[in-house]
A and B are shown apart, each in its own frame.
Chain A
């Protein structure tokens, strides 16, 4: 192909490393990202007039952040970079994008999706009170805006991000009231043998926990969150069951919650990619080969949008997917380089499976969400109503339950309520989680203004 049209969605670590290789091969890919600046989730850049240094913003990751930003800036004028542009659909070898009030169709010969991940949440009584945030949102307010979600914060959930965000808050001068982890210490130790695949990360994690303890932050493991206390104007506390089974209450004015991440796989779904169920993370993820090729001939997947391997893993995955893409277009490839990247990738996969073991998604807790708790925030549907759609109307899987109950029909399109609704539907049917399936992706992946007009010059 003389001048192949390549589109990359996502300018985080995966998209940046992929674009870098494509540019080096003499190509000029289109790079689409809905954020105002490149960097992605972890290396999110603040607005240009903010003056905090990389060290202040990214802590131990400052070096990597600087490298990713510098790489992107160096090739920015060699790619067709579309910032603040949302990719909202994929069909018939075209990406449909929106920027402000215009839309456009971008045809491609090859598509590389690196859209990252978002928080995986568990509905909790009181989780819609103002003052209740996802961990990601708590981190973004801090990173991009220099704000905290509150003065007295409780962080609840599980996974490395739980501790990291708490630590970042402490460093920013807002020591959290507590970190409540649903995973027990014993459970966490079970992940160790796999996590040693990346000793440096393991040490970093241990340091963070001990720093939190030294800073006076209570760290409780093996908890069962019960309720975010407060009213429709504020959060006043957090009620939970501790590891010993005693109910406790903590006063706080804000709650940050998250249970690791979930891949943003809707674009891959719209592109027609096959999915498979991964029992370790209890998520449906797109099928890929060891390079990142999807089941669709010209669609490549990389980064947290396909496997949650963290930022370093995303860089490797971005490189591998770009190499696969180039090789499929007839470019020569450096086999030794591929082998070393794949070896590195295996380390990340091993580590990630350790993380999944150490900080499991507490699916029994999800399945047991009380009937009165809102499971779908957008449509205000309770877990009880979802269960009724399963039991009274015979919904074997989540899309049927959605049709009857509206869970997943709102603005988020099931991105946030989907994982929990799978558990509730499966449990209500007394069937394994796979049988509940996954909420199908439907365009637009995020709400689209009706007043938009079509840009015809480029397509």
Chain B
């Protein structure tokens, strides 16, 4: 990708799905952007995630953003000019316990207000529609318009489309410091300094360090969800599959791609480190994952796992991201810490951030995500405990 040390309207720090789509949508609005990425575009959380384009079960007040994002997903191939393997095959969450029904029924009612269509399916209905499901499942919550995509392709697709539209994207270029002097920010990298009146921090799990350096500390934990993939099998699991449960050790998910491999994850996250280029998979957790995915699809017991991996993700104490402008410095914007949801909402986040930067306001509510909520440390402890 092209190399230049220079000046723009906006500098984006970090080229995951959030930074790359922000660059893409800013270019759509005619804004001059430079994106600086420490390694390669989409190599961190955005390229290693499970690939779930799921809205159901997410934080309710995030649904307007999630819906906006889902709309972009539906047009992503024409927007980016790349086939990122988005498949709106639906998302089914299975229940192991009758008691959980009340939880998903309430969520169904609440989500309906945000326009998310969900169907609660009983014991027979799930077996008829999803014959692969194991005997323990008692019901399911079906979201017909969710789906999945290939994470390895999405952020690069946005970046390439942004470049074709005139964005400057610089890989292997780590941002070392950001300083505001007068109207402009000076962004320091080993390849020289870049200047712009606006800076967006979209550095994923590293975002908290960058925000802290700007005087706005947030409580962020870095973790690595654990992922695996099987050898190719006949295509028999069409929707994305998950679990609705109160037991953390029962959280498991899987999806199959048409070429046959089943990608799975869940059960336990493992600590990840920011100073390592990639999060390591912990084989000690594999047996439990395999047990849980066999509850979902017992036929899998005859298949084989061929690879495992993990990725570096940032989780805020209240499990929702930091998005919006800085509380302290004019021209500084944040979009990081997507708490395991950022792949689905990523394209929407890029669109909203571009709108916010270009127009000063957003048509989609994002107030809940503003960094000012962490100003009072006593409050975050409360939210964290809840």
A residues with a Cβ closer than 8 A to B are: 88-89, 91-92, 94, 96, 103, 105, 393-394, 396, 400, 403-404, 409-411, 413, 442-444, 447-454
Q: Indicate if the CB atoms of B287 and A411 lie closer than 8 Å.
A: no
Q: In whole angstroms, what is the CA distance A452 to B228 when docked?
A: 15
Q: In whole angstroms, what is the CA distance A302 to B152 when docked?
A: 36
Q: Indicate if the CB atoms of A450 and B301 lie closer than 8 Å.
A: yes
Q: Indicate if the CB atoms of A450 and B294 lie closer than 8 Å.
A: yes
Q: In whole angstroms, what is the CA distance A393 to B43 when docked?
A: 13
Q: In whole angstroms, what is the CA distance A244 to B25 when docked?
A: 59
With a cutoff of 8 Å between Cβ atoms, the chain A residues found around residue B284 in the complex are 91-92, 94, 96, 105
Known: A103-B287, A400-B40, A453-B287. A447 touches B304 (CB 8 A): yes
Mark B248-287 against chain A: 1 for CB-CB distance below 8 A, else 0.
Answer: 0000000000000000000000000000000011111011
Those 8 A-B pairs whose CB atoms lie nearest each other, nearest first = A451-B301, A447-B304, A89-B283, A403-B152, A454-B287, A448-B305, A96-B283, A442-B307
Which chain A residue shows the least CB distance to B163? A394
Known: A91-B283, A400-B40. A450 touches B309 (CB 8 A): no
Which chain B residue shows the least CB distance to A393? B156
- Can you list 21 residue pairs at the A/B interface with Cβ under 8 Å? A393-B160, A396-B40, A403-B152, A411-B231, A442-B309, A443-B283, A443-B286, A443-B308, A444-B305, A444-B307, A447-B231, A447-B304, A449-B301, A449-B303, A449-B304, A449-B305, A450-B294, A450-B300, A450-B301, A450-B302, A451-B301
With a cutoff of 8 Å between Cβ atoms, the chain A residues found around residue B47 in the complex are 403
Q: In whole angstroms, what is the CA distance A214 to B287 when docked?
A: 57
Q: Indicate if the CB atoms of A444 and B281 lie closer than 8 Å.
A: no
Asked if B72 is at the interface (CB within 8 A of a chain A CB), the reply is no
With a cutoff of 8 Å between Cβ atoms, the chain B residues found around residue A454 in the complex are 287
With a cutoff of 8 Å between Cβ atoms, the chain B residues found around residue A103 in the complex are 287
Known: A443-B281, A454-B287. A404 touches B301 (CB 8 A): no
Q: Indicate if the CB atoms of A450 and B293 lie closer than 8 Å.
A: yes
Which chain B residue shows the least CB distance to A447? B304
With a 10 A CB-CB cut-off, give which of A88, A89, A443, A454 has the most chain B CB atoms.
Answer: A443
- Return the contact of B306 from the options A92, A403, A410 (Cβ within 8 A): A410
With a cutoff of 8 Å between Cβ atoms, the chain B residues found around residue A92 in the complex are 282, 284
With a cutoff of 8 Å between Cβ atoms, the chain B residues found around residue A89 in the complex are 283
Asked if B153 is at the interface (CB within 8 A of a chain A CB), the reply is yes
- Return the contact of A404 from the options B152, B282, B303 (Cβ within 8 A): B152
With a cutoff of 8 Å between Cβ atoms, the chain A residues found around residue B309 in the complex are 442
- Return the contact of A442 from the options B282, B301, B308 (Cβ within 8 A): B308
Known: A96-B283, A394-B1, A413-B307. A452 touches B290 (CB 8 A): yes
With a cutoff of 8 Å between Cβ atoms, the chain A residues found around residue B286 in the complex are 443, 448
Q: In whole angstroms, what is the CA distance A36 to B301 when docked?
A: 24
With a cutoff of 8 Å between Cβ atoms, the chain B residues found around residue A105 in the complex are 284
Q: Given known contacts A403-B152, A448-B305, A453-B287, what 4 new A-B pairs fall within 8 Å (CB)?
A: A91-B282, A442-B281, A447-B231, A449-B302
With a cutoff of 8 Å between Cβ atoms, the chain B residues found around residue A410 in the complex are 231, 306
Asked if B364 is at the interface (CB within 8 A of a chain A CB), the reply is no
Q: In whole angstroms, what is the CA distance A66 to B128 when docked?
A: 62
Q: Indicate if the CB atoms of B306 and A413 lie closer than 8 Å.
A: yes
Q: In whole angstroms, what is the CA distance A442 to B281 when docked?
A: 8
Q: Indicate if the CB atoms of A450 and B305 lie closer than 8 Å.
A: yes
Q: In whole angstroms, what is the CA distance A203 to B47 when docked?
A: 54
Minimum Cβ distance to chain A for residue B284 (Å): 7
Minimum Cβ distance to chain A for residue B35 (Å): 14
With a cutoff of 8 Å between Cβ atoms, the chain A residues found around residue B1 in the complex are 394
Q: In whole angstroms, what is the CA distance A304 to B300 when docked?
A: 36
Mark B127-169 against chain A: 1 for CB-CB distance below 8 A, else 0.
Answer: 0000000000000000000000000110010001000000000
Asked if B193 is at the interface (CB within 8 A of a chain A CB), the reply is no
With a cutoff of 8 Å between Cβ atoms, the chain B residues found around residue A394 in the complex are 1
Which chain B residue shows the least CB distance to A454? B287
Which chain A residue shows the least CB distance to B282? A91
Q: In whole angstroms, what is the CA distance A400 to B41 when docked?
A: 10
With a 10 A CB-CB cut-off, give which of B153, B303, B306 has the most chain A CB atoms.
Answer: B306
Asked if B100 is at the interface (CB within 8 A of a chain A CB), the reply is no
Q: In whole angstroms, what is the CA distance A409 to B259 when docked?
A: 13
With a cutoff of 8 Å between Cβ atoms, the chain A residues found around residue B302 in the complex are 449-451
Q: Indicate if the CB atoms of B307 and A409 lie closer than 8 Å.
A: yes
With a cutoff of 8 Å between Cβ atoms, the chain A residues found around residue B303 in the complex are 449-450
Minimum Cβ distance to chain A for residue B207 (Å): 23
Which chain B residue shows the least CB distance to A272? B280
With a cutoff of 8 Å between Cβ atoms, the chain B residues found around residue A403 in the complex are 47, 152
Q: In whole angstroms, what is the CA distance A7 to B306 when docked?
A: 24
Q: In whole angstroms, what is the CA distance A357 to B17 when docked?
A: 47
Minimum Cβ distance to chain B for residue A200 (Å): 43
With a cutoff of 8 Å between Cβ atoms, the chain B residues found around residue A442 in the complex are 281, 307-309
Q: In whole angstroms, what is the CA distance A443 to B229 when docked?
A: 11
With a cutoff of 8 Å between Cβ atoms, the chain B residues found around residue A396 in the complex are 40
Mark B299-321 against chain A: 1 for CB-CB distance below 8 A, else 0.
Answer: 01111111111000000000000
Q: In whole angstroms, what is the CA distance A409 to B283 when docked?
A: 19
Known: A91-B283, A413-B307. A404 touches B153 (CB 8 A): yes
With a cutoff of 8 Å between Cβ atoms, the chain A residues found around residue B67 in the complex are none
With a cutoff of 8 Å between Cβ atoms, the chain A residues found around residue B7 in the complex are none
Known: A89-B283, A96-B283. A448 touches B40 (CB 8 A): no
Q: Indicate if the CB atoms of A444 and B287 lie closer than 8 Å.
A: no
Minimum Cβ distance to chain B for residue A133 (Å): 21
Mark B311-345 against chain A: 1 for CB-CB distance below 8 A, else 0.
Answer: 00000000000000000000000000000000000
Minimum Cβ distance to chain B for residue A378 (Å): 9
Minimum Cβ distance to chain B for residue A397 (Å): 9
Known: A442-B309, A447-B231. A91 touches B294 (CB 8 A): no
With a cutoff of 8 Å between Cβ atoms, the chain A residues found around residue B153 in the complex are 404
Q: In whole angstroms, what is the CA distance A444 to B302 when docked?
A: 16
- Interface members, chain B 42-57 (any A CB < 8 Å): 43, 47
Q: In whole angstroms, what is the CA distance A171 to B302 when docked?
A: 41
Asked if B362 is at the interface (CB within 8 A of a chain A CB), the reply is no
Asked if B230 is at the interface (CB within 8 A of a chain A CB), the reply is yes
Minimum Cβ distance to chain B for residue A437 (Å): 12
With a cutoff of 8 Å between Cβ atoms, the chain A residues found around residue B301 in the complex are 449-451
With a cutoff of 8 Å between Cβ atoms, the chain B residues found around residue A443 in the complex are 281, 283, 286, 307-308
Q: In whole angstroms, what is the CA distance A411 to B303 when docked?
A: 12
Q: Indicate if the CB atoms of A451 and B307 lie closer than 8 Å.
A: no
Q: In whole angstroms, what is the CA distance A453 to B283 when docked?
A: 13
- Interface members, chain B 65-101 (any A CB < 8 Å): none
With a cutoff of 8 Å between Cβ atoms, the chain B residues found around residue A88 in the complex are 283
Q: In whole angstroms, what is the CA distance A88 to B228 when docked?
A: 14
With a cutoff of 8 Å between Cβ atoms, the chain A residues found around residue B160 in the complex are 393
With a cutoff of 8 Å between Cβ atoms, the chain B residues found around residue A94 in the complex are 284
Minimum Cβ distance to chain B for residue A299 (Å): 16
Q: Indicate if the CB atoms of A444 and B40 lie closer than 8 Å.
A: no
With a cutoff of 8 Å between Cβ atoms, the chain B residues found around residue A451 in the complex are 290, 294, 301-302
Minimum Cβ distance to chain B for residue A374 (Å): 15
- Interface members, chain B 229-249 (any A CB < 8 Å): 230-231
Q: In whole angstroms, what is the CA distance A96 to B303 when docked?
A: 19
Minimum Cβ distance to chain A for residue B145 (Å): 28
Minimum Cβ distance to chain B for residue A412 (Å): 9
Which chain A residue shows the least CB distance to B304? A447
With a 10 A CB-CB cut-off, give which of B1, B153, B300, B307 has the most chain A CB atoms.
Answer: B307
Minimum Cβ distance to chain A for residue B38 (Å): 14
